[in-house]
Amino acid sequence: RHPQIDLDPSEFGAGFRIVPNREDDTLLLDVYLYDTLSGGAGYADLAARNIEEILQQTLALLEQCPAHCEQSCESCLRHYHNQYLKERLDRNLGAELLRYALDGTLPKEKAPAAQANLLRNLQRLLELEGFACTGPVEIQGVTVPLGVASSNQQVAVGLRPALLTPEWQGHSFSNLSPTTASVVLNEFVLGRNLPDEHQMVRNAVLYEK
């Protein structure tokens, strides 16, 4: 992408590995860049000297793709050599991971209306089965993206950012009373495995006390 360096993606490679952290029981993600030509054309050296600027520009590209694509396109992540991966490329997820790597910023919970939007397909499935769905809806002062009710009870359904584990406590649902049933789904998994997420909500509405 550098205007003065006419670099073909086939001349420059990147990879990653996951390694144990020697200091504690966490894992480290190493991302590395390398020249593909034998002897090296020096691109990796050049990249190392300018890594701060490269990472900042990469972050800007991921967060504000010039084509405003949904997940990936030729203006941001896709090129000839990664076309076999295109279904899996997601610039928003990449941006969240890179921002965390750069300064430790955790991804933020989306606004209730945006969560409600992503939950539409799940909502349709549940409505087909006869569950009463509303959302966003106000419960105990918390704007809940989706409320799902059976004759039994109502369950609050929301989404957490893809990179955060189920143990994450920062969701606005933490302000609901402990007796209010709630389910917080992973927004990335929801987009790729609707049947499982549907089952999880269904079970919560039907069986949870």
By CB under 5 A, which span of 11-19, 74-82, 141-149, 178-186 interacts with Zn ion?
A: 74-82
By CB under 5 A, which span of 3-11, 62-70, 94-102, 129-137 interacts with Zn ion?
A: 62-70
H helix runs in the chain, sequence order: 43-49, 51-63, 91-103, 112-118, 120-128, 187-192, 194-207
Among 57, 75, 105, 199, binds Zn ion (CB under 5 A): 75
The structure tokens 């402990």 sit at: 178
Q: How far is the CB of 81 from Zn ion (least distance, A)?
A: 17
Q: Are 137 and 206 in contact (CB under 8 A)?
A: no
The 3-state secondary structure of 68-94, one letter per residue:
CCCCCCCCCCCCHHHHHHHHHCCHHHH
Among 59, 73, 137, 181, binds Zn ion (CB under 5 A): 73
Q: Is there binding between residue 82 and Zn ion (CB under 5 A)? A: no
The structure tokens 């997820």 sit at: 93
Q: Is there binding between residue 93 and Zn ion (CB under 5 A)? A: no
Q: How far is the CB of 159 from Zn ion (least distance, A)?
A: 22
Which chain residues interact with Zn ion by CB under 5 A?
65, 67, 69, 73, 75-76
